[in-house]
Amino acid sequence: MRTNKINNFIYGLLAVFTLTLTSCDKDFLEKTDPGSGSVDGFFQGEDEFVLGVNGVYNSLYAAGYFTNFWGGNYFHMHMEFETLSDNGVGQDCGWRGYANFACGIMTPASGGITWYKWNYGLGAISKINQLLALIPNVNFSAGMAPKWEAELKYLRGFLYADMADLYGGMPLITEPIDPTEADAITRSTEAETYAQAISDLDFAIANLDTEPNNGDYGRPTKQAALMAKGLAELNQKKFSESAATLGQLVALEGPDVGLVDNDVWEGLNRGTQETSKEIIWSMKAGPGNEGTGDYIPYGVAGDGDYNGWSGIKFTQDGVDAFEMQATGLPITDPASGYDADNPLEGRDPRLRKTFYFEGDEYWGGTIGDVQFGAVCCNGNLKAQSSVGIAPVFPRKTTTYTQEQKAQMATIEYGSPIDLNLFRYADALLLYAEALNEGGQTAQALAPLNQVRTRATMPAIAAGLSQAEMRAKILHERRVELYLEGKRYFDLRRQGMLMETINNNQGWDLHGGANYKSHYDLWPIPSETTDNNPNISQNPGY
């Protein structure tokens, strides 16, 4: 069943299984393939092999706070992408690498997220290659060999597509390598990297089911592979191909994939709808001591159960982006019905489900001056309106049930909430974008309105130009996916990223924003280029 949630899905490894990075302070290409541990003779049956597959996820989304939080993982603090947009501002100019971009101080030696994505991504690919090479020697149950191969190739395809988007051309490694081979590796082109990713994702599409392997929610499915492929095609501006791929995903809408009802929408990102058909792919966290530290900066400051220190400051512009529910008009429109004396009344219902405001109840208390004045590293939020900071806390990603509260008691400075990477509303809006950018503006209206209608917002009328439709889709993605780390990528695809970040006045709190155009491709970590002269650096660094 889809609802089968295995606590040890990501982290359950036998002690003898050593497919892990051998050192956090060494670069991937400096050393032997980290997937070349002492595994000879271990992988004989399917159960052992599945443990190996589970081990790959440990490179993507590690558990704990003191054990892995500062060491990083591939999706480390994914929501910090919100600070590289008009949605939020980081707590300083060097926070986990993200803010280095906004402040204009990014270098190949900056570390943080640019190091994590490169090294943990290639480390996971190395493990995948080792496991793929072992498949012919493992005794699988009937029909399962291609399914486990498909899961591994999905992960490799997702990673190569994601890293191609961030770094451009990547070293293409598709089988285990020895140190001599590692020293000779060069970067392939961006097109070649995407081609490898698409090949892997096509295999996954052909061999994965609409329910995950072993019924373990969190493993990829056919719909996850279709979404990853459609996004990769969209990022390459292959609009017709992307629309066709995402159209295949939309055609699967039914018991295994679709939108949840509006009355449970809030639970999608708050841990109560984690097995819902809307969540296409997620990284599992909790319960028990397997919670993630990646949500720590995103809670309500001063709360005794430590949901966070609120390291992101959210912009008033982002709060104001939520339209009026009755008219579907922005609050700046005189005809919208907006009342400045009662700014939260009659707004898009997603606004109150995304943020906490003054006076809201939280864990039996009321959010007020004490909380707003106690924000670690950010100062008093209520005193920052002059630079466009809103006095709000994130509601998405914060726990709110008694069961979650009990779970948090077993996690030191962590959260049991899963990280959603793909959900169906995201897919519908990407589909609308691909259709519109490919010249099918009229056809883009249906998936756009499907998301709006679920949110109980008025449908968009027909007859928009391509530019008008583009703006509507960007708006809808902003309010639907706020706090899910998507806005950065949306603005980047549309060529609006630098202008948007540099116009985010909130960065004045940290000396002002100075995003540079060459930052659209991330730097290759200096450890790699210093130790591997065959790996070229991206322009501008």
Return the domain boundaries, the chain: 28-238+522-531
Closest Cα to residue 485, out of 356, 394, 391? 394
With cut-offs at 50, 70 and 90, classify the pLDDT of residue 11.
Answer: very low
β partners of residue 365: 362
**Is residue 538 predicted with pLDDT exceeding 60?**
yes
pLDDT tens string 502-529:
999 999 999 999 999 999 999 999 999 9
| Higher-pLDDT residue of 433, 409 | 433
pTM of the model: 0.92
Architecture of domain 28-238+522-531: Alpha Horseshoe (1.25)
Task: Tell me the C-alpha distance between 344 and 328, whole Å.
Answer: 15
Give tens-digit pLDDT for 252-307: 999 999 999 999 999 999 999 999 999 999 998 865 556 677 776 677 766 555 55
Q: Given this model, what pLDDT does residue 8 score?
A: 32
Phi and psi of 394, rounded to 5°? -70, 135
Per-residue pLDDT reduced to its tens digit, 179-189: 888 888 999 99
Q: Which helix (H) or strand (E) holds 195?
A: helix 190-207
Phi, psi of 511 (to 5 degrees): 95, 0
Cα distance between residue 102 and residue 465, in whole Å: 32
CA 148 – CA 132 distance, rounded (Å): 9
Residue in the structure block whose two tokens are 């996820």: 57
273 residue type, one letter: Q
